Amino acid sequence: MASTTTTIRTTVVREGPTIKFVSVQQGFISTISGLMTAIEMVLGIIVFSLAMLWLTRGAVLFLILISFAFWVMSFLILVSSAFSATGTLLPTTLFYMVFHGTAFLFYLSGGVSTIISSYHGVTIAAGVLGLVASIFHLIHTGFAYKKKI
C-alpha cells in the first residue's frame, strides 16, 4: 500500500511603502550588569562635572580625562546593547571584562592622586567619587569574569 503526499506552498508578496522601526532591546539594562553600567556612567558624569569646576592640578586633569573616556564608553555600551539583537551577550565578551578592569585601575589611580594633591573640597569629592566608581568597576570585572567561566 503506497501513499502519496502533496505539498502546496503559497507565497504572498505585498508591495508598497514599508516603515521600519528601530527595535529597542531591554534585556541588558534590566540585568545587574546593565544597571551597574548605568550607575558607572552616572558616576563618571558626576566626577567629570565636579572635577571640571577646579581644574588646577595635573591629577585633576587626569581624573577628568579618565571619567570622560569611561562614561562615554559606558554610554556607548548601553546604546549598542539596547539596539543590538545580541545585547545580552555583551557581558560575556573579553572586551567587557578588560574594559572594566582597566576602568578600575585608572579610576583608582586618578581618584587617589586627586585626593592627595587637592585642597578644594569639590576636587576631593570628585576624587572620592572616582574611588567609588573604581569599586563599581572592580565588582563589575568580577561579574564579567564569572560570566566568562
Q: Where are the domains of the chain?
A: 32-148
Q: Residue 33 in contact with residue 142, Cβ under 8 Å?
A: no
Q: Between helices 58-82 and 121-148, what is the axis angle to 10°?
A: 40
The tens digit of pLDDT for each residue in 53-101 reads 887 778 899 999 999 999 999 999 988 888 877 767 777 788 889 999 9
Give the pLDDT band of residue 119 (cuts 50, 70, 90): confident
In whole angstroms, what is the distance from residue 149 CA to residue 144 CA? 9
**pTM for the complete prediction?**
0.78
Percentage of residues in the chain having pLDDT higher than 90 = 46
- The DSSP letter of residue 54 is T
Predicted confidence at residue 132, as pLDDT, reads 96
Say whether 148 sits in a helix, a strand or coil: helix
